[in-house]
Structure 1
């Protein structure tokens, strides 16, 4: 897939803001979650599979906690399972942050061009903090985490809250996502979505444009991507 801006890109409209998913989009932390899930299964004498792990990608954490409780046959509550997951994943992030190709570069370029960005993730704040510590202060003008919304993705609330905190209309925003759950959330909020698939496939759909990677995508490419996404049905 080409990632160059079209000759008409400059005549299109720049998104008012860019709203970023985190896991699998900004950072490749899904392997950390999966490794922690397998460690829990071994600890409690249960079983787990890669397919089961991929089925949780993009979910709000309490939904994943409930699924793990049922599928592993654990006695803990979903909230307790989530906290144990976070313990394992935070420990791994503190050792190393695995950035996705092109993500930091685009994020930096957006900051240089004064395009506001928000982080919209279903991870909890205590997992987000060590990742944000590796970025310049103020990189994200708003941060929406799974423990600060009533309804997680695929509900539109996370993206609606992010747009509201930035003071912009969601219809004028470009969301960057890697999962079907996240893309559904952003589209339901009214955003155009740049989908960069990673661990799981994402169906084509309304207001979605796909690229293989963020590597090589610059600020000048965004108007054409928004225009392409708005034409998608």
Structure 2
């Protein structure tokens, strides 16, 4: 196994609820109320796509840049208050780092917010970070996960990606990764070629290595 590539929101930290607070405040600011369907559709999308979904849902012709500024100011303040880990996330990160396996954070969230989130996550836990505004293409395009593997000098086919959203899973699969799905805000049962777990607490370093070895069709030397 060459590396483990972690999504952030909804995977390592329970920050989708933080985003929901900010999105509800933005919707109220724009004179409407965000529907549950629109909120689910935003999970794992780029900021630009999320704003289009929100504006369409509210039926408003608002300025995208102004909406992003309003939302990110509120989310940044909430991130700074500290984020809640998803169950098993800090333990899994500690085990992976102890085993000397390279790790990357791969997120659709923009870098200045990721830097705030890293106060909770710990920058020392990641050898590379790919944020939502680092590349021209974001999830579900394979570029974020391909880039993360390149930064680790790893073969994506020998990397595990851990995700909670359909867009993220599509991105990781297209990059060639072995993908683990841990549902948070949206269901993943309809997706194929994904190893689903209820919690990151169900994962172990040896188990991840076995998944990569099985996916590649032969046993690697660890």
Q: TM-score, normalised by structure 2?
A: 0.91
**Are positions 1:121 and 2:79 aligned together?**
no
Misfit runs of 4+, over 4 Å? 227-231
**Are positions 1:205 and 2:192 aligned together?**
yes
**Cα RMSD between the aligned structures?**
1.7
Counterpart contact for 2:157–2:216, Cα < 8 Å: no
Q: Give the secondary structure class of the aligned counterpart of 2:54.
A: helix
Q: Give the secondary structure class of the aligned counterpart of 1:62.
A: helix
CA displacement at 1:31 relative to structure 2? 0.8
Q: What residue in structure 2 maps to residue 97 of structure 1?
A: 83
**Distance of 1:228 and 1:179 partners within structure 2:** 24
**Are positions 1:42 and 2:31 aligned together?**
no
Q: What residue in structure 2 maps to residue 26 of structure 1?
A: 12
**Are positions 1:173 and 2:159 aligned together?**
yes
**Are positions 1:78 and 2:64 aligned together?**
yes
Call closer, same or farther: CA 1:193–1:230 in 2, change over 3 Å: farther
Q: What residue in structure 2 maps to residue 192 of structure 1?
A: 178
Q: TM-score, normalised by structure 1?
A: 0.87
Alignment of 1:10-21 (within 5 A): 15-21=1-7
Q: What residue in structure 2 maps to residue 8 of structure 1?
A: none
CA displacement at 1:216 relative to structure 2? 4.0
Bigger mean CA deviation after superposition, 101-110 or 126-135? 126-135
Q: What residue in structure 2 maps to residue 5 of structure 1?
A: none
Counterpart contact for 1:65–1:81, Cα < 8 Å: yes
CA displacement at 1:117 relative to structure 2? 0.3
Q: 1:218 aligns with which of 189, 204, 217?
A: 204
**Distance of 1:80 and 1:143 partners within structure 2:** 26
CA displacement at 1:61 relative to structure 2? 1.1
Counterpart contact for 2:7–2:163, Cα < 8 Å: yes
CA displacement at 1:137 relative to structure 2? 4.1
Counterpart contact for 2:35–2:57, Cα < 8 Å: no
Counterpart contact for 1:111–1:139, Cα < 8 Å: yes
What 5-or-longer segments of structure 2 have no aligned partner? 218-222
**Distance of 1:83 and 1:230 partners within structure 2:** 44
Q: 1:57 aligns with which of 30, 39, 43?
A: 43
**Distance of 1:45 and 1:103 partners within structure 2:** 37
Q: Give the secondary structure class of the aligned counterpart of 2:201.
A: coil
